[in-house]
Amino acid sequence: MHTLTRRDAWLRLTLLPAILLLIAALVAGCFDPLSRAGSRDPDPNHIVVGSGGVLESQIIGQIYIDALEANGFTVENQLNSGTRERYLPALRSGDIDLVPDYIGNLMQYLASTAPGLTEDRIAEYSALTSLEDIEQALPSVEGDDLLTYTPAPGSNSDSVTVTQKSADKWNLRSIEDLARVSQTEKVSFMANSEFATREVGVPGLERNYGLKVDFRPNNDSGGQATINELTSGRVTAADIYTTTPAITTEDLVVLDDPKHNFPANNIVPVLAKSKDSPKLRAVLDAVSSKLTVEELRNLNELVSGKEKLEVEDAAKRWVEAQNLNKALGS
């Protein structure tokens, strides 16, 4: 029969707790915060805030957190909750209570997943582009468990963007103006390759405005490479998302889209209907009212520009500047 020596006993006493701690750490590292289906706290003043993975969505989620805490809510941070295919089911199941979203993309997702809709009705809802039409139709696809509050004026949408030099040269204010130019001048246009065939891409611009373009694909989603091509004059126009900081810093001009070729993508709070309260609505409406496209560009610049602030620091600075760091009415 084997007898433990003092050294064996010491090793067991020393190593076993360390091994257990390591196992606990590994388990914690694998823990999914969005795996607590049905755990929603019925207290309307306790809010779990999630967000999409993109930085802009995380910044807005952090702004929600800061403003809610300033108004006496107990808030749990579950930002960076994944894609819409992940965080909306989590919102329905009780893992999170509130997320910022983009109203046009939200409409298309909910229409495609709503039970009982015919293909024609899904196509009808998915084709809506104006903010007014999307707002009006959204309750029809939200179901009994979701609710949206007032959208912000700021929209992160596709665009036809030109340089200030081009805008001055041809007196460009809207896509209609550029379409006029395209009848006699070559208008080169850069965007992701799928823009060539998307309904709201090249086909939509020609159908709605008569805009004829020499299409130049570049799959950086309106990033720096596309911006460089635009500012250098190698392309006439480009699809730059409207909350991109370079629109301001590079002196670019987003042309008006009066025929709503591009779907509105205004920031909108989406929440579990069971968490709805006049107090929650008041706080989020106050936040949304200040989220203009210019403010969204500024927020994105704070995080991705020269200062490279953390999401928490950028949100805190903005909330303080907007006087949202204290209770409403105080």
Q: Where are the domains of the chain?
A: 46-155+266-321, 161-254
- Asked if the domains at 46-155+266-321 and 161-254 fall in one CATH topology, the answer is yes
The structure tokens 């991109």 sit at: 244
Compute the distance between CA of residue 76 and CA of residue 83 in angstroms, rounded to an integer: 19
The whole-number pLDDT of residue 270 equals 98
Count CA atoms within 13 Å of residue 89 on its CB side.
9
| Torsion of Cα atoms, 101 then 105 then 109 then 111, to 10° | 110
The whole-number pLDDT of residue 38 equals 54
Domain 161-254 of CATH type 3.50.50.60? no
Report the greatest alpha carbon distance in the chain: 98
> Which residues is 139 bridged to in the sheet?
none
pLDDT at 271 over 60: yes
pLDDT at 19 over 90: no
* 3-state helix, strand and coil shares in percent for the chain, rounded to the nearest 5: 50, 15, 40
Q: State the average pLDDT over residues 288-317.
A: 97
Sheet with 252-254: strands ordered across: 214-217, 188-191, 237-238, 161-163, 252-254
Q: State the average pLDDT over residues 308-323.
A: 98
Residue-averaged pLDDT of the chain: 91
Q: What is the pLDDT of residues 251-260, one digit of tens each?
A: 999 999 999 9
All residues at 6 or more sequence positions from 134 whose CB lies less than 8 Å from its CB, including other chains: 103, 104, 107, 128, 263, 264
| Second CATH level (architecture) for the domain 46-155+266-321 | 3-Layer(aba) Sandwich (3.40)
pLDDT at 22 over 60: no
Q: What is the pLDDT of residues 221-236, one digit of tens each?
A: 999 999 999 999 999 9
